[in-house]
A and B are shown apart, each in its own frame.
Chain A
Amino acid sequence: MKTNKFQLTLFAIIFTFISCSKDDDPAPEVVNEEEVITTLEVTLTSGSSTIIMKTQDLDGDGPNPPVVTVSGNLTSGIVYDGAIKVLNELETPAEDITEEVEEESDEHQFFFTPGGGLDVTTEYSNFDSTGNNLGTQFKLTTGSASSGRLTFTLRHEPTKPNSGLVDAGGETDVEATFNITID
């Protein structure tokens, strides 16, 4: 009889415990992805001429493709100063991820890959703390009139120094391709 009483008490305790659980939970808080890169903006300047190439993907890994714009054509035989900005525009104000990339310069590097007949050469203008290439600043020299693709790749933890994407390794943080024409 003693056991029965004990068991009954147990049942009572547990049912009370379970019935305490609440059903009407408050809405969970929204998560704005912190290190998502929504936007890559490349500014090419030469004297008074400025060309902006921009790719923006506001839904991140969602189904919408990035929106790519190039403000104009390049001119042949000119050296442009290039600056790359990566942003997270899901946060307000937009978070400038370039700062993080530059802070952890040893662990990052931009790569520039021309293709499809585009006649350009590139050169790094800024470097990490050990003097290896970083590439948020670069120089782009246009050759003859041509058109093709230019791909910007940001690698995290690449092998440094390297001779380019071929032996850089690391993981891809950003990969953006622009269709460009040189007049």
Chain B
Amino acid sequence: MFRFFLIVITLLNFLNSHSQNCNNEFSGRVIDLHDGRVLIGAIIFIEGLNEQIITDSNGAFSISNLCNKSYVFEISHPQCKTKIETIRVSENINRTLRLEHHIEELNEIIVYGSSYIEKSKTLTENIISSEVLEKSIGSPLGDILANLSGVSSFKTGNSVVKPVINGLHSSRVVIINNGVRMEDQEWGEEHSPNIDVNSLDKITLIKGAGALQYSGNAIGGVIIAETSNFQIKDSLYGKILIKGETNGRGLTTTSNLIRTKSNGLYSSVQFTFKRFGDFESPNYLLSNSGAKEQNASFRLGLNRFKYGLELYYSIFNNELGILRSSHVHSSLDQIRSINSEIPLKINDFSYKINPPKQDLNHQIFRLKGFNRFELLGKLSFQYDYQQNNRLEFDIRIGDDKYKPSIDLELKTHSIKVDLDSQLSNLLNIKSGVTGRYQNNFPDPETGVRRIIPDYNKYDLGIYSILDFQINDMFLLELGGRFDYSSMSVSKYYRTSFWRSRNYQDLFSDLIINEISSQTLIKTKLIFKNYSTTFGSRYNLDDNHSINFNYSIASRMPNPSELFSEGLHHSSARIELGDLRFNSEVGQKIVFNYIFQNKNINLSVNPYLNLINDFILIEPTQIQSSLRGVFQVWEYRQTNAQILGLDIDASLVLNKNFYLNNQFSILKGRDLLRNEPLISMPPVNLNNEIVYQNQKTNNVIFSLKSEYVFRQNEYPDNNFELFVPLSQTTETVDVSSPPNAYHLFNFNSSLDIITNKNYSFSLSFSIRNLFNKEYRNYLNRLRYYAHDLGRSFIFGANYKF
């Protein structure tokens, strides 16, 4: 920290001060933005005068002999983020300066603007810290986030895990990975985020669309994944984490190495390897459920007080096995699988991943920089390029055996310019513009009709967010965003489908060609979306605060909702999109009451999400082909309502014991049909008791109970099917949710060595302690197999 100030001072020495007849005095206090506590020993550095003042025991300061002009003050405190303020002095003034209290992110201001410090000022934010992330290495992102209230995971087996925020997922959840908006085919229900969780230091979850600087279409919420910023000093440090698990007989290792210099230069390199074989449910093996992951990332940058520049590259490689017995070819196979208590195919344990499987590759290249201008504020710029390759292998025969059925390549270029200006001590405005070009190429070599068509997409987004600190207690936030998207699509429709939808009358002008029972069309879709957010935060006193946020988010339909037209093997259903869809528009109202004192931490968070033209998929009919009978699921637009409540509480019992509690409930309804929405997370209740003793090697023991209720509200999508073998008609039950279940997890950790130069710690956990057999409503493969059984997990963590 001291070095850092030396640099700043040296930098600022180049600027000369003018002396004139100056008698103004600037006085005031420095306080903590969050709780209003006075900050003692805060340093106020006056640019141009090369003078610094330190606040006294009341947090007060006074600077005399100031002229009639604007001054730039740099306010810093060892436990806070450094802040730059431009203040116009024309007489004696008195101001209260607010700093954000945060020890861990001491140097964050150097690279990031305030939007990264507080993503939304009036929406509930949940943060997963680096300690928690280090303990969860090897777990999918969706599973780690599911530890937060209001978040569940939507799964396909055990490796494909998507985060669900307040009941919504996929295209309705936006993921920002190191400042880059992920474009990784997130529309698919069985597409998990292509992020290396092990490379992250912090994950922030925003349950709403309030973070307009990133996107206007996050009807469900925003997940912001970041790596931390580096200190400005000469240092070489890093870490090696290793974790082994009995279930899946797998190993995950992640390591990084960071070099920083006192002149602000830094570089880092990080690697992750993960290998798992077949996982096990309590009583049988889940054949072909293994996973393989290899990731790397590199950073090179320069941190200076006034400007900064960074290059970042990451590569993510993931091979995921899909449960062998979930690959069903027809409804008849499905009924056999559902009726069978255990999967129809159980082989011996293997590390080999066979079809059905997914092979994913995601690369990000990012260049960003910023410059601070005295009057304008901080101007940031970012260019990023993402390339996503998605291969999905089905069980095929003959020459096609080793060919993927889906081969998609999605390329996205984005540029972003943001300006963060402090108009006054109380008023902050952040605005920006984003441009994006995206190209999707489905390789025809698969020999399977394209699930997503060829398209080119252009996006332009403009936003502005204003926050106004009315007084020490009251903060208002107001934001708006406009997004323009244009999508040029070339697609082959089955002529029979094109006609059955009556598209030949509606869109006859789109037809380019007709080849062997397929119709080639070319179309250009344009969407104009508006989003706004309005919020307030009111601190009643040191212990109580109330947040309120109202936001409108608009989302254009995703390629799957628009263009799906074919059979989905993992669910044995035909899925049909609709070319005529318009954007869905969500309005979310969120309240949050927070109570904090020395022993109690309570957050009560009710919300209401009203979504017009909500796009959902539902079964409409039965269709037969030579492969057998299939249920046809069609996308449809309706008005939806999600009403829910999340509660987080923790209670310190004594010096060593504390309790954590989480509760989430939500009700989702289709307002037009007046029936429940499908796949809404059931009520869940988590309780944890933790013992921690910092005196004896920071030993931690915890026992966590997870109770998931049965989802009692669901639409009835069952259908009848004639079974030739038994010559009977049977009901295919694809709707009934599984029973409630109660799981226990045990965690422990111990710091073996902690000193100035290095630390070494060990951990041991047991997941599903009592080897409980259960099925999860939000797992697409719940029909075919039970969820995971007990696992013993051993971890070692070495930092230097």
Contact = CB atoms under 8 A, between A and B. Distances in A.
Interface of A: 3-4, 6-7, 10-11, 14-15, 17-18, 21, 23, 25, 27-35, 37-40, 55, 57-66, 90, 92, 97, 100-101, 103-104, 107-108, 113, 115-116, 149, 151, 153, 156-157, 165-166, 169, 171-177
A113 B494 contact: no
A28 B725 contact: no
Interface in B612-626: 623-626
A33 B345 contact: no
Contacts of A39: 626
A93 B321 CA distance: 36
A131 B627 CA distance: 26
Contact of B727 (A25, A34, A60, A115): A115
A31 B397 contact: no
Interface of B: 307, 309, 327-330, 332-333, 336, 344-345, 367, 369, 371, 381, 383, 395-398, 400, 413, 415, 435, 437, 439, 442, 444, 446-450, 453-454, 456, 488, 490, 492, 494-497, 500, 512-513, 515-518, 520, 522, 566-567, 574, 623-630, 724-725, 727
B517 A28 contact: no
Contacts of B628: 172, 174-175
Contact of A65 (B395, B494, B566, B624): B624
B724 A115 contact: yes
Nearest to B628: A175
Given A17-B413, A23-B456, A90-B517, A172 B333 contact: yes
B642 to A, nearest CB: 33
A83 B155 CA distance: 44
Contacts of A34: 400, 447-448
A163 B628 CA distance: 22
A7 B397 contact: no
B397 A100 contact: yes
Please provide the 7 A-B residue pairs with the shortest distance between their CB atoms, ordered closest to farther.
Answer: A34-B447, A151-B724, A171-B329, A59-B496, A175-B628, A100-B398, A62-B494
Nearest to B415: A14
Given A33-B447, A65-B624, A171 B328 contact: yes
B398 A103 contact: yes
16 contacts: A4-B371, A27-B512, A28-B444, A28-B450, A31-B447, A38-B626, A57-B626, A61-B623, A104-B398, A107-B397, A156-B395, A156-B397, A166-B725, A169-B336, A173-B627, A175-B332
A59 B512 CA distance: 20
A153 B626 CA distance: 10
Contacts of B725: 113, 165-166
Given A7-B371, A27-B513, A61 B625 contact: yes
A42 to B, nearest CB: 13
Contacts of B413: 17-18, 21
A115 B413 CA distance: 60
A4 B488 CA distance: 36
A113 B630 CA distance: 20
A60 B395 contact: no
B329 A29 contact: no
Given A61-B567, A156-B397, A177-B724, A33 B449 contact: yes
Nearest to B329: A171
Nearest to B724: A151
Contacts of B517: 58-59, 90
A164 B333 CA distance: 15
Contacts of B446: 31
Contact of B383 (A14, A35, A149, A177): A14
Contacts of A176: 626
Given A18-B435, A27-B520, A37-B627, 18 more contacts: A3-B371, A10-B367, A10-B369, A10-B383, A14-B383, A18-B413, A23-B456, A30-B492, A33-B448, A35-B396, A40-B626, A90-B517, A113-B724, A156-B329, A156-B397, A171-B328, A172-B333, A173-B329
B395 A7 contact: no
Contact of A3 (B307, B456, B490): B307
B11 to A, nearest CB: 13
A37 B492 contact: no
B626 A55 contact: yes
Contacts of A21: 413, 437, 439, 456
A43 B221 CA distance: 60
Given A30-B515, A33-B449, A90-B517, A63 B329 contact: no
A61 B517 CA distance: 13
Given A38-B626, A115-B724, A171-B395, A28 B490 contact: yes
B497 A30 contact: no
Nearest to B574: A61
A59 B494 contact: yes
A18 B437 contact: yes
A35 B402 CA distance: 13
